[in-house]
Amino acid sequence: MDFWNENEIELIHKFKNAETWEMFYGGKNREALIKMLREDLDRASRAGAEYVVFHVSDVSIEEGYTYKWLHTDEEVVDRSAELINLLFDGQKYEFKLLMENLNWAGLDFTRPEITKRLLKKVHYKNKGIMLDIGHLMCTNLELKSEQQAIEYVHRMLDEHDILCRYIKGIHLHQSLSGEYVKQHLCIAPDLPEDYFEKFSVGYKHILNIDTHRPVTDSGIKSVIDRINPDYLVHELAASDRNEKEQVLHIQTETLKRP
């Protein structure tokens, strides 16, 4: 958001110097970011991708600790739609554009009016939502079990009502990290001065929030059946191929149980 808005005060606060944020964002200004993303889209088109995913979210390292957002959902959605329209208007892409929810400012799939606002502002016709189940669970710090989490997902689907027809894909995993978040909800701790070292520390913290663990409660099938997505992605964390096979087996077996 701050790079897009050319807010140098906040950029200096976060990155310390222009060289670092230019390295992070791939250039000096919006045009550099647009160029980089358009090249990615063109590459996806040449590869015959069926869909691309855009994360509609904004969060700084510090906000990942404080949960006090610098920008509102409305601001993030509006600027994201602006960027998407600059990338897609006038292009002849054939793939779907699926916009994904996260548990930060922006699209988190807890406010139907925000979801509707985003869908209305994005011009691209072949658009939809990639509903990330684990990210949605992360928006409720009171969840204690997978059963509670599944019930919560259904409540959010109920609230979105007819908007659910835009859900074309699911990222399937679970995160029950509310207690961890509440224990670490504070002013950001002392972090390294170097941005990329600070990013590494913050990323480890985020992995304790957004855990990407396999779902083990077969009740999740009711969510999948209700949505009937075109795409079901087992988005699971693992340190190596062997662990990846193990967690994938756990989740696929869950979907086989009654």
pLDDT surpasses 90 at 4: yes
Please report which confidence band the pLDDT of residue 186 belongs to, taking 50, 70 and 90 as the band edges. Answer: confident
pLDDT surpasses 90 at 29: yes
CB 52, CB 97: distance < 8 Å: yes
Q: What is the pTM of this model?
A: 0.97
CB 258, CB 194: distance < 8 Å: no
Rounded average pLDDT over 177-195? 92
Measured CA to CA, the distance from residue 45 to residue 4 in angstroms comes to: 25
pLDDT surpasses 90 at 188: no
- Which of the 8 DSSP states describes residue 240? S
Mean confidence (pLDDT) of the chain: 97
pLDDT tens for each residue of 33-75: 999 999 999 999 999 999 999 999 999 999 999 999 999 999 9
Please report which confidence band the pLDDT of residue 187 belongs to, taking 50, 70 and 90 as the band edges. Answer: confident
pLDDT tens for each residue of 65-94: 999 999 999 999 999 999 999 999 999 999
Q: Which amino acid is at 149?
A: A
pLDDT at 128: 99
- How much of the chain, in percent, has pLDDT values that exceed 90? 98
Rounded average pLDDT over 202-209? 97
Domain architecture of the chain: domains with CATH? 8-58+68-256 (3.20.20.150)
Please report which confidence band the pLDDT of residue 158 belongs to, taking 50, 70 and 90 as the band edges. Answer: very high
Those residues whose C-beta lies under 8 Å from the C-beta of residue 73, and which sit 6 or more positions away, are 105, 106, 107, 108, 111, 114
CA-based R_g, the chain, Å = 19
* Helix (H) or strand (E) segment spanning residue 76: helix 73-88
Measured CA to CA, the distance from residue 142 to residue 21 in angstroms comes to: 36
Measured CA to CA, the distance from residue 136 to residue 16 in angstroms comes to: 32
pLDDT tens for each residue of 207-217: 999 999 999 99
pLDDT tens for each residue of 91-135: 999 999 999 999 999 999 999 999 999 999 999 999 999 999 999
Q: What is the DSSP string of 33-54?
A: HHHHHHHHHHHHHHTT-SEEEE
